[in-house]
Structure 1
Amino acid sequence: MPLQLPDLPYSRTALQPHISAETLDLHHGRHHRGYVDTVNARIAGTELDALPLEEIVRNSQGSLFQAAAQAWNHDFFWQCLHPRAGGDPHGLLAEHINGQFGDVQKLREEFNRAALAVFGSGWTWLVQHPDGKLAIVSTRNANTPLTGSSTPLLVCDVWEHAYYSDYQNERARFLQAFWKLVNWDFVASQLS
């Protein structure tokens, strides 16, 4: 059964002025769609075509892994954003963040340092390790914590296609906008 490009969980104009409809058209409508189409072409008629995307990521390698992981990472990224989000986390997530980083501002600073340090294309993640501790990790290209033992909680796409139309090469400005859109309720729902 072919994978479907999931709809965005908001309208293409909902993230403005932080992320433009033009960027979403390019990022979701072309890049993300391209990854889904590539995965479908590669799994057609194989034993993988009955698996959910998450399992394809975990059971593939090479160019199929690259396309499947990019599709999964993008699915996750869209969920991490919301037009009526931003602010600070609350509840158990806030307790974890305060315990691990001191406060949410320190989390943002450390996360931004990691995202700005990614040379070229990649992703910066807030993850929860099996021992319950939170950490910030960056992955290059399509790599994802989904293939390891840590649980992804939050991700920021730092590939240039995620922000170039709106911010050119100013990744730091994109990160400022990103924090105004973080869907803390979704992030909290990922805690184990």
Structure 2
Amino acid sequence: MSFELPQLPYSHDALEPHIDTKTMQIHHGKHHAGYTAKLNAAVDGTDLAGKSIEEILGSLDMSNGALRNNGGGYYNHCLFWEVMGPDGGGQPGGDLGAAIDSAYGNFEGFKEAFAKAAATQFGSGWAWLCVHPGGKVEVCQTANQDNPLMPGITCGGTPILGIDVWEHAYYLNYQNRRPDYVEAFFSVINWSEVARRYEAGK
């Protein structure tokens, strides 16, 4: 097997009440596990075996639905679990905080832009905060399991924060109230991990 389902860095109930236990169990144990298995099926026995997920996505043939959907789903969820945590919330400081202030005026400006990207993504998809070489940050959105590492995705950059706005990510607890889920997400963001990714990607 080329790729393995990562263990959650916290318990299934650790993000309560913002993200409920049942959603976490299904989302990680069923959805992410499914993307992992299907990614391996698409990669094993090909010249992609042994390559990192970043290498695979960066040189992806976007007409290859199995790799596009399952490779994206694998990578996106790996990031998603890491940028959340039970001690999350608040605001970033340091260089990341300065970059956000530079791009969006202040944290509230960023929060508004990120929440709008998440709330207005039509159908299933993701909203991202990405870093470009040099340290500039950008909020963008992608459909389905696409992400900014893939060829032709216009927002570009390296994703350092992402929110899953597929219905399976929130519907048990929030039903059709996606904006409420997005607001709750800000209470579980692990800004230390996002800052680490910012430093690595700039």
TM-score normalised by the chain length of structure 2: 0.90
Shift of 1:2: 2.6
Matches within 5 A, 1:4-153: 4-60=4-60, 61-147=64-150, 149-153=156-160
Q: State the Cα distance separating 1:55 from its structure 2 match.
A: 2.0
Which secondary structure state, in structure 1, belongs to the residue aligned with residue 41 of structure 2? helix
Instruction: State how far apart, in whole Å, the 2-side matches of 1:6 and 1:181 are.
Output: 19
Report the aligned-residue RMSD.
Answer: 1.3
Q: Which runs of 5+ in 2 are unaligned?
A: none
Q: Mind listing any 5+ residue stretches in structure 1 that lack a counterpart?
A: none
**Structure 1 vs Structure 2: percent identity of aligned residues?**
43
Distance in 1, Cα, partners of 2:57 & 2:130: 18
* Number of the residue aligned with 2:186: 179
The structure in which a higher percent of residues are helix is 1
The alignment's TM-score, normalised by the length of structure 1, stands at: 0.95
Structure 1: how far apart are the matches of 2:44 and 2:130? 32
> What whole-Å deviation, never above 9, does each CA across 1:128-180 have from its counterpart, x for those lacking one?
12343211100011110122551111111111111001101110110111000
Are the equivalent residues in 1 in contact too, given 2:27–2:169 (CA < 8 A)? Answer: yes
Number of matched residues? 192
* 1:6-51 Cα deviation digits (max 9, x unpaired): 0011111111111111001111110000000001112222222211
